[in-house]
Amino acid sequence: MPGVVVHEVSKRFGAVRAVDGVSLVVADGRLLTLLGPSGCGKTTTLRMVAGLEHNDAGRIGIGDRVVSDPAAGIFVPPERREVGMVFQSYAIWPHMTVFANVAYPLEVRRRPAAEVRERVLAALGSMEMAHLAERPATALSGGQQQRVAIARALVFHPRVLLMDEPLSNLDAKLREQMRVELRALQQRLGITTLYVTHDQEEAMVLSDEIAVMSDGRVVQMAPPETIYARPVSRTVAAFVGSPNLLAAKAREVRRTAAGTLARVEADGWAGWCSGPADLVPGEAVTVIVRPEAIHFGGRPETGIAWRGVVRQRFFRGTRNLYTVQVGVLTLSVDAPPDPAVSPGTDVALSVAAAHTWVVRD
Residue 224 and residue 314 in one domain: no
Cβ atoms < 10 Å from Cβ of 130 = 16
Q: Which amino acid is at 260?
A: T
Element (H, E) at 198: none
Task: Name beta bridge partners: 193.
Answer: 31, 161
The more confidently predicted of residues 151 and 172 is 151
pLDDT band at 2 (very low <50, low <70, confident <90, very high): confident
**Mean pLDDT score across all residues of the chain:** 93
Look at residues 186, 202, 235 and tell me which one is the last residue of a structural domain.
Answer: 235
How far apart, in whole angstroms, are the C-alpha atoms of residue 46 and residue 85? 10
Better-scored residue on pLDDT, 89 or 349: 349
Instruction: Name the DSSP letter for residue 96.
Output: S
Residues 264 and 311 placed together within one structural domain of the fold: yes
Position 3 pLDDT exceeds 80: yes
3-state secondary structure of 200: helix
pLDDT for 172 equals: 84
User: What tens digit of pLDDT does each residue of 97-136 get?
Assistant: 999 999 999 998 999 999 999 999 999 998 888 999 999 9
Does residue 247 share a domain with residue 206?
A: no
Q: Please state the domain count of the chain.
A: 2
pTM of the model: 0.90
Residue ranges making up the domain that contains 308? 242-360
Mean pLDDT (whole number) for 67-74: 98
56 contacts 11 by C-beta, under 8 angstroms: yes
Shared-domain flag, residues 187 and 249 = no
pLDDT at 1: 61
Strand partners, 85: 162
Segment 162-185 shows an average pLDDT of: 89
Residues 210 and 250 in one domain: no
CA 7 from chain centre, in angstroms, equals 20
Helix axes 142-154, 113-126, angle to 10 degrees: 130
| 261 lies in the same domain as 207 | no
Residue 90 pLDDT more than 80? no
Query: Rounded to an integer, what distance in angstroms lies between the CA atom of residue 7 and that of residue 23?
Result: 4
* CB-based contact 360:283 (threshold 8 Å): yes
Per-residue pLDDT, 313: 97
Which domain-ending residue is among 216, 235, 254? 235
Q: Are residues 196 and 256 in the same domain?
A: no
Tell whether 47 and 174 lie within a shared domain: yes
> Lowest-confidence range among 16-25, 54-63, 92-101?
92-101
Average pLDDT of the segment spanning 144-156: 90
Q: In the predicted model, what is the mean pLDDT of residues 12-36?
A: 96
- pLDDT tens, 188-233? 989 999 999 999 999 999 999 999 999 999 999 999 999 999 999 9
CATH number of the domain residue 135 falls in? 3.40.50.300
- Asked whether residue 37 carries a pLDDT value surpassing 80, the answer given is yes
204 near 215, Cβ under 8 Å? no
Q: What is the signed CA dihedral for 309, 310, 312, 318, rounded to 10 degrees?
A: 160
CA distance 270 to 82: 56
Identify the CATH number of the domain in which residue 306 sits: 2.40.50.140
How far is residue 55's CA from residue 20's CA, in Å, rounded to a whole number? 10
Is the separation of the CB atoms in 152 and 102 below 8 Å?
Answer: yes
What's the average model confidence in pLDDT over 6-28?
97
What span, in angstroms and rounded, lies between the C-alpha atoms of 114 and 14?
Answer: 48
Backbone angles phi, psi at 6, to 5 degrees: -115, 120
**Lowest mean pLDDT across 56-60, 161-165, 258-262, 286-290:** 258-262
Do 207 and 265 belong to one domain? no
Q: How far apart are CA 237 and CA 240, in angstroms?
A: 5
Within this chain, do residues 192 and 264 fall inside the same structural domain, yes or no?
no
The reply to whether 269 and 204 lie within a common domain is: no
Integer angstrom CA distances of residue 104 from 100, 122, 155, 307, 342? 6, 15, 9, 64, 61
Q: Do the beta carbons of residue 191 and residue 30 sit within 8 Å?
A: no
Are residues 130 and 114 both part of a single domain?
yes
pLDDT tens by residue, 317-347: 999 999 999 999 999 999 999 999 999 999 9
In the chain, what is the straight-line distance between the N-terminal and C-terminal CA atoms, in Å?
38
Residue at a domain's end among 197, 218, 235: 235
